[in-house]
Amino acid sequence: MSEMRIRSDFWERYLDIVRDCLIPYQWGVLTNRIVCSTPSYAVRNFKIAAGAEEGEFSGFVFQDSDLYKWLEAVGNLLAYEKDPELERKADEIIGYIAEAQEADGYLNTYFQLKEPEKKWSNLLECHELYCAGHLMEAAVAYARGTGKDRLLGTACRLADCIHRVFGWEEDKLHGCPGHQEIELGLLKLYDWTGEDRYLKLASYFLEIRGTNSYFEEEFERRGRISHWTQGPVEEPNRHYNQYPYSYYNQFHAPVRCQTEAVGHAVRAVYMYTAMAKAAVLCKDEELLRTCKSLWKNIAETQMYITGNIGSTPSGEAFTRAYDLPNDTNYSETCASVGLIRFSMEMLKAELDSCYGDVIEKALYNTVLAGMAVDGRHFFYVNPMEAVPEICEANPERNHIKTVRQEWYSCACCPPNIARTITDIRSLICSVSGSRICIHQYIGSELEAETGEGAIRFSLASDFPWDGRAKIRILQADGVYGEFALRIPGWCIGCRLAINGQKVRPEDFDTERGYLMVKRVWKAGDLLDWVMDMEPHFIQADRRVYYNAGKAALVRGPLVYCMEEADNGSCLHECRVDAAGDIREKWEKDMGGYCSLFIAGVRYRGRIQEKLYDRLAVQKEDVCLKAVPYFLWNNRGQGEMVTWVNVV
C-alpha cells in the first residue's frame, strides 16, 4: 500500500490532539521545559553522553526508551504531513543520540554515564536490549517519514554491536532480554534494510529464551546484587503472584512450548508479537501454531471486554483464566498497545475477523482511555470500576487513579499512545495477491498494488458512531480484485449495495468472518456496506464470577460506562433493566459522542446510626446515562462502573 491518507473526522481529531497537544507536551517534559512532579531527564541524559552538557545520569535505567518512542511517533506524523519545526526538533535530538554513540556502536546513557563497567551484566533487570529495540523501531519510522537515515545508521550500528556480543556461537553471550522488545526492533530493521543478520538475531533472542540458566548465572557473577535494591538479594527477582520470576519474564519454558499467557502482560505481548512476525517471515508453521494458542488463551480467557489485559498489580501481570476483577485490575495501557500489535501480526499471518475484533476493542476503548481529550493527562491503569475515596485509601487499590496524571516517573504509556495513534493507518487494511482486506473501518484514502494491478480507493465512514462504510473506486483500469470486508463480532446484521443496487450478503462467499466481494473494478464503482450498530447488553462467561448478575452496555465497538457526573454517587446501588429500551442521544461536548439512556432501579440505602441494621431499602425508578468508556474522567473526578447489576 502507498499514499494512505486518513479521512476520518474521529481519527483526524485524535491525530490533531497528538500533533498539537501530546507531541509538544511530551517534548516539553522530555526536555524538562515543562516542569512535572516527576521530571524526565531523557534529553538531558543524551546531551551529557554526547558531551554537550555536564552532569550525571538521572531517571530510570530505561529512560532512553521514552525519547525513542517520541521519535517514533514524530516519524509517523511526518509521514502524514511535513512539519519543518517538528522535524528540526527531532533532528537536533537525533544529533545528540548519534554523538552519544560509542565507537563500537554501543548506546545506552545509563551505562555510559553511570556504570560503564557493567554493560551487558544484568540483562534481566536493566533494559539495555529493551531500549535498543525502541531505538530501532524509532529509526525505521523516522526514515520512512522523512527519508533521513542518520538515526537509522545509529540503530544499525547498535544492532551490529549487539550482533557481535550475542548469539549461538561459543564465543558470544548466550543471554536474552529481561524485558522483551529488541526482537520487534530487529524485525522492523530487517524489514527496512533487508539485512538477514537482523532477522537471525531476532530469532536467536526468541529461541534461546527458556532454554538455559543464563539469568541465574549472571546473577551469581554480579554477586547476587539487584539493580533495584543496589544490594544483595536471595534470588534474581522476587515472586509475583503465586508464580516465580521465570513466569513473570516468560522464560519458564522455551517459547515454542508456551501455550498460556503468563507474567508481566506488556513483556508477554511484545514477545508474542515478535514470535508471530518471525513465524511469517521464516514460514515457521510450528511457531505460528504456538502464537495461535497464546492469542486464543488471552482473547478467550484473560481479556477484559474493553480489550485490556493484565488483571493484577502484582507484577502488572496475567493470573489465570477467567480471573478478571473489576475494581483491582491493572490493565496497563501499554499492554493493550502490545495486544493490538500481536493481533495485527496474527491477522497478517492468517485472515480471521477475531483478530480485527480484538484490535478494535483495545484501540477504541483502552488505548483511547489512556489519554484525556486535552492530550496532556494520562492513565497508566485502566479499571473497570472505581470509587475515588476507596482507591485512595485502600492499598490494594491505590494503583488505580481516578484522575489522569500529568506524567509518570515510569512514563511508558504516554509515548506508547502517541506512537499507536500516529500509526493508525497500519491497522486499516492489508493486501495479499489480488485481495484487499479491510480490517478497520477508518475513513481513509489509499492505493493498493494487487497482483492484477493498482487500485486507488477511498473508504468513507463515521466510525465508531455509525456502522456505514462506503468504498469508492477512484482509479482502476479494469483491474480484477477482491475486497474482503470484516464482519465485526458486534454486528447482528449487515447490508450491501454495489453501485446503488442492493445485493444479498449471503450470496457472497465468506471466509473466517470476512465477506468477499470479487469483480473487475473501474473508477466510480461504489460499495455501500452497512453494519447494524444497535446498543445492547453483554453478559460474561459464568466463570468470571465477578460479573455474576451483571451486564455491560455496548454499541458497536464501544463499551459504555456510568459515571457519577451523570448519575450521582453510590453507583453500586443502581440496577439496569436489560430488557428495556435504550435511547441514544448525540452530545456535543468532549468532541462529540453518542450517549445512551436506559431505565433502571436504584436500591437506595441509608446512612444509619448502626453500621448494620434491619433491612429497609427504598426502591426508586431512575433513568441512567452511559457514556463511552474511553471518555470517562474527562469531566472531573468521580465514581465509574462498567459492569452493572441487572434488575
Catalytic residue ranges = 316, 412
- Whether the Cβ atoms of residue 413 and residue 370 lie closer than 8 Å to each other: yes
Query: Would you state the cell numbers that stand for residue 374, as one nine-digit string?
Result: 486535552
Q: Which single residue is written with the C-alpha cell 483491582?
A: 328
Cα angle 49, 111, 62 (rounded to 5 degrees) comes to: 95
> Which is nearest to 457 in space by CA: 344, 531, 443?
443
Going by DSSP bridges, is the β-strand pair 477-486/435-438 parallel, antiparallel, or unpaired? parallel
Residue ranges of E strands in 328-401: 385-386
Which residues, in sequence order, are CB contacts of 497 under 8 Å at separation 6+? 503, 526, 527, 528
Q: Nearest 5°: phi and psi at 149?
A: -120, 15
Read off the DSSP letter of residue 428. T
Q: How far is CA 461 from CA 429, 464, 645, in A?
A: 14, 8, 34
Distance CA 629, CA 596 (A): 12
Identity of residue 206: L
- Whether the Cβ atoms of residue 513 and residue 487 lie closer than 8 Å to each other: yes
Helix-helix angle 196-207:182-193, to 10 degrees: 160
Q: How far is CA 489 from CA 461, 483, 493, 531, 644, in A?
A: 18, 19, 10, 10, 22
Distance CA 142, CA 157 (A): 16
Going by DSSP bridges, is the β-strand pair 574-576/644-646 parallel, antiparallel, or unpaired? parallel
Cis-peptide, bond into residue 39, ω within 30° of zero: no
Read off the DSSP letter of residue 544. -
Q: How many CB atoms lie within 10 A of CB 393?
A: 10
Q: Nearest 5°: phi and psi at 444?
A: -165, 170
Read off the DSSP letter of residue 291. H
Identity of residue 41: Y
> Which run of H or E residues covers position 70?
helix 64-80
Q: How far is CA 446 from CA 355, 458, 476, 519, in A?
A: 22, 6, 12, 19
- Whether the Cβ atoms of residue 439 and residue 427 lie closer than 8 Å to each other: yes
